[in-house]
Amino acid sequence: MVTARRPLIAGNWKMNLDHLQSIAFVQKLAWNLKDAKHDAATVEAAIFPPFTDLRSVQTLIDADKLELELGAQDLSDNDSGAFTGDISGAFLSKLAVKYVIVGHSERRTIHLESDEVVASKVAAAHRNGLVPVVCVGETADDLEKHGPSAVPVAQLKAALAAVPSSAEIVVAYEPVWAIGSGQAATPDQAQQVCAALRATLVDLLGADAAASTRVLYGGSVKASNIASFMREPDVDGALVGGASLDITEFASIIRYQNHVGV
């Protein structure tokens, strides 16, 4: 069975834009997409603002019926209790958040999140009705020592250890060396690893689930290179950092199907 995968362009704002800035940004982004007659049925667009912006953005999306999905950048692996500073998946769910990034390399590095913690957060997302965007990717050192796919594949196996095969997930392949460096992977490199990740999904979840799961590429994605990634058969979208903070640039990435030569 061939399953059509709706491309997903996701903007991870990281720790940028306060709630007032986020409202202005989302309004302008929505106008830009509307002016350009963007059809969300062909390409899904999602934004991942900081926690403190979520309520404001959710209210705006709701009130104006914007065709933008909302995601969070992290969640706790616990649902409630004495976990100062943590955010429950149950709270995110109440805010109509659809997606949550889990295991971003910045959390693995700065907050020392292990594969076990990532797996537990993936399970918490699923338990609370959120779709985890599971991030995997190798460092430059890993690439040299183990080649391109070994570390991302091992991270994916570990991350999915505690969820049923029916759980909806999104996978994001983000080579650490490409994040914020301006040096994106080549489309061929991205395809190679995304194909290896999909083959891993076949083993873990079965062929149908693997065929319908979106695998994104992330790392220095821009309007000028998105179309070349999206031509690859196993790349189903992008997780965009820096370029998602520029309205015109991000709207252009979302509208990659309209780019000349695609």
How many angstroms separate the CA atoms of 131 and 98, rounded? Answer: 6
In the complex, the smallest distance separating the C-beta of residue 179 from ligand 13P, rounded to whole angstroms, is 4
Exactly one of 106, 174, 232, 249 is catalytic; which is it?
174
In the complex, the smallest distance separating the C-beta of residue 104 from ligand 13P, rounded to whole angstroms, is 6
CB 100 within 8 A of CB 77: no
**How many residues of this chain bind ligand 13P (CB under 6 A)?**
14
> Using the rule CB under 6 A, is 137 a contact of ligand 13P?
no
Q: Per CB under 6 A, which of residues 192..221 are in contact with ligand 13P?
A: 218-221
**How far lies 247's CA from each of 32, 84, 251, in Å?**
8, 34, 6
Closest CB to ligand 13P among residues 114, 181: 181
Tokens 């994104």, residue located: 216
Binding-site member from 17, 159, 169, 239 for ligand 13P (CB under 6 A): 239
Exactly one of 104, 106, 113, 138 is catalytic; which is it?
104
Backbone angles phi, psi at 10, to 5 degrees: -115, 130
Q: Give every CB contact of residue 246 below 8 A, 6+ residues apart in sequence.
A: none
In the complex, the smallest distance separating the C-beta of residue 5 from ligand 13P, rounded to whole angstroms, is 20
* CA proximity to 230, closest of 217, 249, 220: 217
Is 104 an annotated catalytic residue?
A: yes
Is 174 an annotated catalytic residue?
A: yes
Q: Per CB under 6 A, which of residues 11..50 are in contact with ligand 13P?
A: 12
CA-based torsion, 127, 97, 74, 103: positive or negative: positive
* Site stretch for ligand 13P (CB under 6 A), options 25-33, 34-42, 186-194, 236-244: 236-244
How many angstroms separate the CA atoms of 77 and 91, rounded? Answer: 12
- Applying CB under 6 A, the residues found at the interface with ligand 13P are 12, 104, 174, 179-180, 218-221, 239-243
